[in-house]
Amino acid sequence: MGLPNASGDLSTEVEVDAFRRLFPLRFYEKHLLESIRPDARPLGRARETTIALGAVASANGSALAKIGSTTMLAAIKMEVMTPSLETPDEGCIGLLPLAACFPLSLSLLKTSGMINLKELSLVSGKAAWMAYLDIYCLDADGALFDTALLSAVAAFSHLEIPVVSLNDDGKIVLSEEQGLSDREPVNKEKRKINLSSVPFSLTCVLHKKYILADPTAEEESIMDTIVTVVLDSSSQLVSLHKPGGTVLAYTSAIQDCIALTRQRVKELQKILEEAISGMEVD
């Protein structure tokens, strides 16, 4: 058994597919002995990643992220709210409870300090922005959290805050809609949010002494030990998550995962920067 030979003998092909379905673990272990995976990736390499900004025009900021075949669409819509009494200068980020069904909660977007909530304020004490972030999974093939986080971060970097002004009833309305060009816009200068310490993540599966970075759905289903590391752009640890699993993660394994993540953060930063500069044609 092993990899199909180049002559394309049909009977060997069929056997390989059946072997893959019937004995998935043995199929993988034969590959891991050669330090490779069935899709010809080395163990530490992630799949091809692309980001497309501005996928949806009806949202204020949006991004479509693909890692391999896993596709996530994140979009942000801005609405106005009254800030709470304890924090009159701060806006808010709204995450669907659905986002919390990830093993690792996306609320780390709020806690990682990527966004200064004071930037979301409009009129101190009276009005502030609520940025609703919604993420939809269009295709699931492993590493869902990584892709979701990447798409959320990209959507925030694409976000453009609409220009608004205060109308007579004390409500905030879009400046062009009212046709009141003489009315002073509340936030003429602040159109983009500053992102500091952007978090990026990498999920790895552990199997015996192997560490596979960026697993596909098949790999995640047969190897049950998953480690997710989230680092920010200055390589500081934001979060580490290892929910059980049969493989015990010794310090060396964790350190290897973190090293892989550090590498991945550089790759993702580059991809995100290319996507952003690709948008700035004007």
Partner 1 sequence: MAAKPGSAPVTYSPNLGQKTRPPIFKDNDLDWVRPDGRGFHQCRPAFFRTGAVNSASGSAYAELGSTKVIVSVFGPRESKKAMMYSDTGRLNCNVSYTTFATPVRGQGSDHKEFSSMLHKALEGAIMLETFPKTTVDVFALVLESGGSDLPVVISCASLALADAGIMMYDLVAAVSVSCLGKNLVIDPVLEEESYQDGSLMLTCMPSRYEVTQLTFTGEWSTPDINEAMQLCLDACNKLGKVMRTCLKEAASASQE
Q: What is the rounded distance in angstroms from the CA atom of residue 131 to the CA atom of residue 225?
A: 34
The one-letter code for the residue type at 121 is: S
| Closer CB to partner 1, 33 or 57, in the complex | 57
| Closer CB to partner 1, 171 or 188, in the complex | 171
Rounded least distance, CB 69 to partner 1, Å: 4
Rounded least distance, CB 40 to partner 1, Å: 17
| Closer CB to partner 1, 99 or 211, in the complex | 99
| Closer CB to partner 1, 51 or 55, in the complex | 55
Q: Which residues are near partner 1 by CB under 8 A?
A: 55-59, 62, 69, 71, 73, 75-82, 84-85, 92, 94, 96, 130, 132, 134, 136, 138-141, 162, 164, 171-174, 177-178, 217
Helices (H), the chain: 10-22, 24-33, 108-111, 144-158, 175-178, 217-222, 251-279
| Closer CB to partner 1, 38 or 245, in the complex | 38
| Closer CB to partner 1, 203 or 233, in the complex | 203
Q: What is the rounded distance in angstroms from the CA atom of residue 46 to the CA atom of residue 275?
A: 18
Rounded least distance, CB 209 to partner 1, Å: 30
- DSSP secondary structure, 98-137, as one string: GGGGSSS-TTHHHHTT-S-GGGGEEETTTEEEEEEEEEEE
Q: What is the rounded distance in angstroms from the CA atom of residue 32 to the CA atom of residue 212?
A: 9
Q: What is the rounded distance in angstroms from the CA atom of residue 220 to the CA atom of residue 229?
A: 16
Rounded least distance, CB 59 to partner 1, Å: 4
Contact 109, 145 (CB under 8 A): no
For the stretch 129-138, what's the b/e string if a residue is b when 16 or more beta carbons lie within 10 angstroms of its beta carbon?
A: bbbbbbbeee
DSSP state of 69: T
Q: What is the rounded distance in angstroms from the CA atom of residue 194 to the CA atom of residue 126?
A: 23
CA-CA-CA-CA dihedral for 222, 224, 225, 226, to nearest 10: 80
Rounded least distance, CB 166 to partner 1, Å: 10
Rounded least distance, CB 47 to partner 1, Å: 12
Rounded least distance, CB 98 to partner 1, Å: 10
| Closer CB to partner 1, 144 or 253, in the complex | 144
